[in-house]
Amino acid sequence: MLQNRFLYWTDRIYTLFIKAGGNLKSLFLLYMRVMWGHQLFLMGLKKFHTMDQVVALFDSLHIFAPTFSAYFVATSETVCGLCLFLGLSTAHASVLADLKFLFHPTILVHEAPYPYVLTALLVFIFGPGRVSLDGWIKRWVNRQPKW
């Protein structure tokens, strides 16, 4: 009897723990999206406000079409940051080209966009969570009459 009671309570506690973790998934994804999406969005806006400096930097780095590239990067960061924030799901190509990161993963960790890529992968793999624009759209579509 004592052993069964122990197993019963162990199972109950474990089940509650698993449910709590499952419910925290959406909140964690919300936190990651909001934090990194907001930062990426602000970085894009900052580039628009200091476009002359960004173009000069891109030119000094010999990036092809520095003006176009600067506007493209600023637009991408702003739009993608906003999408990441809401939950809608070339400068570092040399790090990826030789595939060294497969054997030395810390190479990627030291790159500035790493947290954003990691967050984008989290959202891609797990979805944006219930607390997101995608989640709201999915619930709305599911409530619509079927044909």
Res 127: pLDDT? 78
Long-range contacts of 51-58 (CB under 8 A, 24+ apart): none
> Does pLDDT of 92 surpass 70?
no
> Does pLDDT of 1 surpass 60?
no
* Closest alpha carbon to 87 in 135, 57, 42, 132: 132
> Does pLDDT of 89 surpass 70?
no
Across the range 33-60, mean pLDDT stands at 93
Q: How far apart are alpha carbons 73 and 62 in whole angstroms?
A: 15
* Closest alpha carbon to 85 in 114, 116, 107, 47: 116
Res 103: pLDDT? 74
**Is the backbone of residue 137 left (phi > 0), alpha (psi -120 to 50) or beta?**
alpha
Question: What residue spans define the domains of the chain?
Answer: 2-88+99-143
Identify residue 74 by its one-letter amino acid code: A
Across the range 20-36, mean pLDDT stands at 81
Confidence category of residue 74, pLDDT binned at 50, 70, 90? very high
Q: How far apart are alpha carbons 117 and 114 in whole angstroms?
A: 5
